[in-house]
């Protein structure tokens, strides 16, 4: 294997010919994959029952169970495994049968090794997309059933963030999520919690706390609870958020706003799994995992004495950075589609998409408020719009500035020019091509081109 410490994927090779089996195993190992190689279908199914494999690379013609039967049996014990069959006798019929039974690709003998590497890598990419789509479908189902939210994005930066969330979710590690306001830090924290519950269901709750939104003198009471008689009006014990979360997750947003005194108590909750409710003489045990988020540079805050250095290092075991929306514009179409569909369902509207002109405006906007600003803009469009598509007039004025009133001038010539330009632009949007636009305007095609150049109309 190369210097890579983590294998690209784990491959199960099944071939009864030792030279082919050993050659494939050695080649794939050198390419950076973890490989298990066996000679029979029975051995393959037994190994698949013990270990999860990303790809099954299996000869069709095996003694005992043939490749298709092996594929079907492996699918029962390891359903996420992708399958590539090897055959020396490929026919249309066998290929169709293989794909119908669940194969994803096949190789012809004699085997060309660089072709094997390319096909395996394509399968791995397909597997990654498949797994992400499975997770997105589960999340979408959760949003429809429970009114939750989800993280959407296929840009490299978002795929990296989602992959980190998937990897760290099943662990007990603290996580620090970094990003500007409105980038979806709480949604990513929920994704980490969902991955944790999927791996080991505990029934624990996800509770989010905005540290900047609660007065400092009430924050400890909210987080850790209080004992009877701790202050005027405390006539009974009250559990805090850590107790309510149980074996779940406490998400502390804007952690940089936490007072230094409360930071010390939070550090104890993380390290020793115990808290002191307000007015208590004895600590209470807690189980909740802590996730935190900030839009501040906590290392700088710690260096300048505004944040505890030991707490910073304890929180920063794994950090996930969420990029601002302006740096992942390739995610905008998917985000727009998802948010529009979500709000259309909740409002009972029939708006099914975005017009080309409105999409161009949405793609060009700087989105300083990130996903939150986009979400608000699309809600406004649904409230104001009447057609099946979002139009520029449905968008906020800062995204789609309204054209100047052509009659807002005294000079007749200027007013005529403004109106003519607006009218030509409207016809160009409506017509299938410039020739038809010229007919609709009642002018020649060459005259239309002159007008386009005169007014600097973008087409």
pLDDT in tens, 346-404: 888 888 788 888 888 898 888 989 999 999 999 999 998 888 888 888 999 888 765 55
Which CATH number fits the domain that encloses residue 74?
3.40.50.2300
**Average pLDDT, stretch 106-129?**
81
**Where does the pLDDT of residue 276 fall: very low under 50, low under 70, confident under 90, or very high at 90 and above?**
very high
Q: For residues 297 and 332, state if they share a domain.
A: no
Q: How far is CA 305 from CA 56, 294, 301, 356, in A?
A: 55, 17, 6, 51
Which CATH number fits the domain that encloses residue 201?
3.40.50.300
Q: For residues 345 and 218, state if they share a domain.
A: no
pLDDT in tens, 223-244: 999 999 888 888 888 899 999 9
Q: For residues 390 and 424, state if they share a domain.
A: no
Domain boundary among 394, 422, 446: 394
Half-sphere exposure (Cβ direction) of 200: Cα atoms closer than 13 Å = 8
**Where does the pLDDT of residue 105 fall: very low under 50, low under 70, confident under 90, or very high at 90 and above?**
confident
Residues of the chain with pLDDT > 70, as a percent, come to: 87
Q: For residues 345 and 302, state if they share a domain.
A: no
pLDDT for 217 beyond 60: yes
Is position 139 within any domain? no
353 neighbors 389 (Cβ within 8 angstroms) = yes
Is position 250 within any domain? yes
Q: What is the pLDDT of residue 140?
A: 46
- Which residues, 6+ apart, have CB-to-CB distance to 159 below 8 Å? 132, 153
Q: How far is CA 339 from CA 36, 224, 286, 324, 393, in A?
A: 44, 36, 36, 17, 19
**Average pLDDT, stretch 447-453?**
85
Strands in 347-387 per DSSP E? 353-354
Q: For residues 383 and 429, state if they share a domain.
A: no
Is position 402 within any domain? no
**Where does the pLDDT of residue 5 fall: very low under 50, low under 70, confident under 90, or very high at 90 and above?**
low
Q: Rounded CA gap, 142 and 146, in Å?
A: 6
Q: For residues 306 and 271, state if they share a domain.
A: yes
pLDDT in tens, 415-424: 677 778 777 8
Task: State how many domains the chain has.
Answer: 4
Alpha helices, H only, 203-328: 216-224, 241-245, 260-272, 298-303, 309-315
**Where does the pLDDT of residue 144 fall: very low under 50, low under 70, confident under 90, or very high at 90 and above?**
very low
Name which residue leads in pLDDT, 167 or 127.
167
Q: For residues 71 and 96, state if they share a domain.
A: yes
399 neighbors 377 (Cβ within 8 angstroms) = yes
Domain boundary among 321, 356, 379: 321
Closest C-alpha to 381, from 419, 414, 351, 348: 351
Q: For residues 213 and 91, state if they share a domain.
A: no
Is position 135 within any domain? no
Is position 140 within any domain? no
Q: What is the pLDDT of residue 45?
A: 93
CA dihedral (325, 327, 330, 332) in degrees, to 10, reads 10
Query: Any long-range contacts for 144-150 (C-beta under 8 Å, 24+ apart)?
Result: 144/345, 148/190, 149/184, 149/186, 149/187, 149/190, 150/187, 150/191, 150/338
- Using DSSP's 3-state secondary structure scheme, residue 447 falls into helix
Q: What is the pLDDT of residue 451?
A: 86
* Residue-range definition of the domain harbouring residue 426: 412-455
**Average pLDDT, stretch 273-297?**
94
Q: Rounded CA gap, 8 and 452, in Å?
A: 54
Q: Rounded CA gap, 164 and 175, in Å?
A: 10
**Where does the pLDDT of residue 261 fall: very low under 50, low under 70, confident under 90, or very high at 90 and above?**
very high
**Where does the pLDDT of residue 146 fall: very low under 50, low under 70, confident under 90, or very high at 90 and above?**
very low
- Residue 331 gets which letter from DSSP? G
Q: What is the pLDDT of residue 143?
A: 47
- Residue 389 gets which letter from DSSP? E
Q: For residues 197 and 315, state if they share a domain.
A: yes
Is position 362 within any domain? yes
Domain boundary among 321, 350, 384: 321
Q: What integer best gives the mean pLDDT of the chain?
A: 85
Q: Which helix (H) or strand (E) holds 210?
A: strand 206-210
Burial class (CB in 10 A: 0-12, 13-18, 19+), 367: buried
Q: What is the pLDDT of residue 150?
A: 60
Is position 407 within any domain? no
Q: 150-159, 210-219, 373-382 — which is least confidently predicted?
A: 150-159
**Average pLDDT, stretch 78-92?**
76
Query: Is cis: bond before 110, omega within 30 of 0?
Result: yes
- Which residues, 6+ apart, have CB-to-CB distance to 406 below 8 Å? 415, 418, 419, 422
pLDDT for 134 beyond 60: no
Q: For residues 206 and 254, state if they share a domain.
A: yes
Is position 72 within any domain? yes
Q: For residues 267 and 170, state if they share a domain.
A: yes
Q: For residues 85 and 43, state if they share a domain.
A: yes
Which CATH number fits the domain that encloses residue 361?
1.10.8.60
- Which residues, 6+ apart, have CB-to-CB distance to 118 below 8 Å? none
Name which residue leads in pLDDT, 408 or 331.
331
Q: What is the pLDDT of residue 438?
A: 86
208 neighbors 244 (Cβ within 8 angstroms) = no
Alpha helices, H only, 228-355: 241-245, 260-272, 298-303, 309-315, 332-347
**Average pLDDT, stretch 287-292?**
97
């Amino acid at each position: 294997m190369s210097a890579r410490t983590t294998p690209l994927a784990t491959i199960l090779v099944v071939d009864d010919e030792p030279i082919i089996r050993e050659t494939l195993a050695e080649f794939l190992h050198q390419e950076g994959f973890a490989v298990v190689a066996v000679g029979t279908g029975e051995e393959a199914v037994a190994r698949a029952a013990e270990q999860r494999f990303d790809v099954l690379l299996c000869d069709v013609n095996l003694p005992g169970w043939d490749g298709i039967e092996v594929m079907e049996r492996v699918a029962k014990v390891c359903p996420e495994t992708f399958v590539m069959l090897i055959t020396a006798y490929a026919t249309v019929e066998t290929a169709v049968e293989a794909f119908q039974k669940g194969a994803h690709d096949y190789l012809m003998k004699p085997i060309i090794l660089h072709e094997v590497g390319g096909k395996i890598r394509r399968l791995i990419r397909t597997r990654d997309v498949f797994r992400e789509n499975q997770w997105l479908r589960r999340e979408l189902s959760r949003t429809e059933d429970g009114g939750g939210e989800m993280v959407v994005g296929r840009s490299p930066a978002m795929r990296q963030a989602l992959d980190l969330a998937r990897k760290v979710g099943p662990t007990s590690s603290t996580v620090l999520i970094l990003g500007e306001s409105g980038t979806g830090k709480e949604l990513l924290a929920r994704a980490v919690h969902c991955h944790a519950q999927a791996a080991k269901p505990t029934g624990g709750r996800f509770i989010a706390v905005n540290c900047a939104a609660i007065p400092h003198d009430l924050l400890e009471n909210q987080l850790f609870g209080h004992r009877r008689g701790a202050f005027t009006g405390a006539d009974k014990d009250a559990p805090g958020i850590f107790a309510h979360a149980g074996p779940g997750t406490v998400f502390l947003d804007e952690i940089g706003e936490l007072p230094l005194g409360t930071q010390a108590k939070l550090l104890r909750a993380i390290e020793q799994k115990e808290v002191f409710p307000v007015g208590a003489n004895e600590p209470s045990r807690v189980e909740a995992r802590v996730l935190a988020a900030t839009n501040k540079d906590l290392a700088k805050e710690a260096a300048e004495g505004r944040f505890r250095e030991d707490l910073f290092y304890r929180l920063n075991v794994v950090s996930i950075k969420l990029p601002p929306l302006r740096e992942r514009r390739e995610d905008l179409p998917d985000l727009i589609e998802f948010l529009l569909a979500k709000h259309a369902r909740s409002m009972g509207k029939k708006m099914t998409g975005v017009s080309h002109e409105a999409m161009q405006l949405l793609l060009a906007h700087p989105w300083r408020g990130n996903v939150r600003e986009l979400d608000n803009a699309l809600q406004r469009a649904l409230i104001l719009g009447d057609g099946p598509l979002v139009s520029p007039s449905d968008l906020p004025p800062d995204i789609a500035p309204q054209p100047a009133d052509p009659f807002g001038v005294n000079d007749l010539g200027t007013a005529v020019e403004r109106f003519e330009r607006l009218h030509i632009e409207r016809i160009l949007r409506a017509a299938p091509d410039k020739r038809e636009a010229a007919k609709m305007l009642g002018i020649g095609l060459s005259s239309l081109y002159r007008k386009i150049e005169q007014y600097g109309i973008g087409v």
